Chains A and B, each alone.
Chain A
């Protein structure tokens, strides 16, 4: 029994900002103060507020320390843990009020959140199965195996209206039902988990695996029982070493406890789980490519039908869901479909996890009920755009998604609303852009990604995305014509209509949605040969205003290319042939005499 628990985030974000050094310093100080039997140090998964890492929460007080350094540790131990005096200077400033401390749940970042998939992340030690059990872990599996028929399990999931959280939003219950019924006499079926999270900027699946790996094991076993499968595979990218290690530990513990293996809970249900590592190809997040890769072949998609429910992994009926989808399952079983349906919007039930990134103050992981507006996510939870800049757009759905401009910021986020405005839920990456981002450049960035990640199997995607990228290059270089814009749009529709798999079918989305909402920026590049945000270098030119320049020579010293000349106290000039457009002179000039066009 411990009187105090010190929770330290051990997610990837806080690990890279040095939480391991803090943990070892903490252990040392605790030993030194003879508190080993009174204070428990728990390395947890992600708390979500990655921007403030390394993060430490001390219970029972619930003190939230942010950006902790190893040097702070001895003060935390001798003051807080020993004498109960909270170290106010290290507290997350949002929790400090004039009248005392505010609960973390009352802060802007957490107040509007609702944690279902992330409920154990940052609360339990992911490498301790007992702690998972202490938060009702494996109770849903026990209930399903001892009290319910497989059909009843499927009915609850169907009734809950849970939809796939990996991007497409297909009803999970229907997927399970098809896998159970479509081939009635199959000798073997499989349950797979897509943990290949490939969208740049999305990291919710990784965080769930790092913070609560047992929830995935429990949910996959439930799925196995529901569809009649005795084997499961988790396909996870090798770039997630912490997640892989914790999942391995969790699988071994579950086997030791008899929660994986034969005759689980003394029933005749057998289920075991295996990990397969992916090499990080974006296309392997596509279900047919993923299963091809598990089979040991080159990760390339196959035409559907047949759908995996009929002919999936090793040619057998297979159910494939993503990590976040699975993380909802045990809660739905325990709390019921009606509870789940009471959260969210008419056609999108429950919550969604978003990874906030880009030009936003609270970079991190948030979980909100479906139907929360983009404004609430960006301004309240995300803390707004830094440096007083103006919000321009948010990008959802990664390379397959689109942009949501300022005029649509009050959109209630759910599957259908996002599709309607040409974006998509995707896996939940949410990248915020401000006035300094050029939308053509953003489209080019995502296209560059898809060109690189196209597997090459079908022509529309392999050649089409490359040609699309070249047109975007022309636009940003200022050599495109209006005819190119027309061609580009036509090519987008052609690629969408003719590509083999989701990668190609959605690759033009970033172009189409920026073209739809920010056509004036495209036109500025094409007609006026300017980049309004000042990003596309080929279109920039720098000039010194002779009437403002006092000849202080600061810019001459700042210029790395030696492009500025002039004598002291006389207006200077820029040699445009030499200028590399680095912006250094503009930042140095105190008289606003240098203009960027």
Chain B
């Protein structure tokens, strides 16, 4: 390492990876249903896609966590996004392919991707 730029590049890369260890009560929370039903429906790749996507973009104040069965097993994998203010958006039958779009539209730009939400599926 010979320059400050090199140090800075490494710092930015590592920062997004160690940031997961911060306790941030005001974080936006991405909650992925990882009960048996969720895992069977393919929640694990969805979970890792969210986690990686958030870290790769270096997004601050976003926490990707798991939860158990929400009760709508036929709509798993289910992902809830809880905004810091308490609003909740529920995405259903999420696949890893949708994750990029949800991160870009919803988490970064603050506009929920309506076509994937539970309301779009006409239930509840």
Contact = CB atoms under 8 A, between A and B. Distances in A.
Given A130-B10, A142-B4, A266-B3, A123 B21 contact: yes
Interface string A90-116: 000000000000011100000000000
Nearest to B29: A60
A103 B25 contact: yes
A59 B21 contact: yes
B33 to A, nearest CB: 8
B64 A60 contact: yes
A370 interface: no
B21 A83 contact: no
A131 interface: yes
Interface string A130-158: 11011111110010001000000000000
A1 interface: yes
Residue from A62, A105, A258 with most neighbouring chain B CB atoms (10 Å): A62
A582 B113 CA distance: 75
A5 interface: yes
A59 B35 contact: no
Interface stretch (B47-55, B101-109, B116-124): B47-55
A61 interface: yes
B100 interface: no
B11 A60 contact: no
A46 interface: no
Interface string B48-83: 101110011000000111111000000000000000
Contact of A131 (B18, B39, B48, B64): B18
Contact of B34 (A2, A84, A135): A84
Nearest to B12: A134
B4 A83 contact: no
B113 to A, nearest CB: 21
A139 B7 contact: yes
A135 B67 CA distance: 29
B114 interface: no
B21 A84 contact: no
A309 interface: no
A275 to B, nearest CB: 22
Interface residues of B, number: 35
A189 B46 CA distance: 58
A257 interface: yes
A133 B10 contact: yes
Contacts of B13: 134
A3 B7 contact: no
Contacts of B20: 2, 4-5, 59-60
B4 to A, nearest CB: 5
Interface residues on A, range: 35 or more
B39 to A, nearest CB: 7
B93 to A, nearest CB: 19
Contact of A265 (B3, B21, B44, B52): B3
A193 B21 CA distance: 30
A129 to B, nearest CB: 9
A134 B18 contact: yes
A259 interface: yes
B54 to A, nearest CB: 9
B87 interface: no
A62 B65 CA distance: 10
Contacts of B4: 142, 146, 265
B48 A3 contact: yes
B18 A3 contact: no
Interface string A446-490: 000000000000000000000000000000000000000000000
Given A61-B65, A146-B4, A103 B23 contact: yes
A142 B2 CA distance: 10
Nearest to B10: A133
Interface string B1-36: 111100100110111011011010100000010111
Contact of A83 (B15, B35, B51): B35
A265 B14 contact: no
B68 A84 contact: yes
Contacts of B68: 83-85
Interface in A1-38: 1-5, 7, 37-38
A34 B23 CA distance: 27
B3 A105 contact: no
A104 B56 contact: no
B21 A258 contact: no
A82 B68 CA distance: 10
A135 B65 contact: no
A133 B14 contact: yes
Nearest to B33: A84
Contact of A1 (B1, B15, B52): B52
A5 B1 CA distance: 27
A53 B1 CA distance: 38
Contacts of A135: 15, 18
A139 B63 CA distance: 26
A258 B34 CA distance: 44
B65 A84 contact: yes
Contacts of A136: 11
A508 B48 CA distance: 62
A413 interface: no
B56 A133 contact: no
Nearest to A7: B21
Nearest to A120: B18
A269 to B, nearest CB: 13
Interface string A62-94: 100000000000000000001111000000000
Given A84-B68, A134-B10, 19 more contacts: A2-B17, A38-B44, A60-B64, A61-B65, A83-B35, A83-B68, A84-B66, A84-B67, A85-B68, A103-B25, A123-B18, A131-B14, A133-B7, A134-B11, A137-B11, A258-B1, A259-B1, A265-B2, A265-B7
Interface of B: 1-4, 7, 10-11, 13-15, 17-18, 20-21, 23, 25, 32, 34-36, 39, 44, 47-48, 50-52, 55-56, 63-68
7 contacts: A3-B47, A7-B21, A38-B48, A61-B65, A82-B39, A135-B18, A142-B4
Q: Which 4 A-B pairs have the closest CB atoms?
A: A84-B66, A134-B14, A3-B51, A1-B52
Interface of A: 1-5, 7, 37-38, 57, 59-62, 82-85, 103-105, 123-124, 130-131, 133-139, 142, 146, 257-259, 263, 265-266
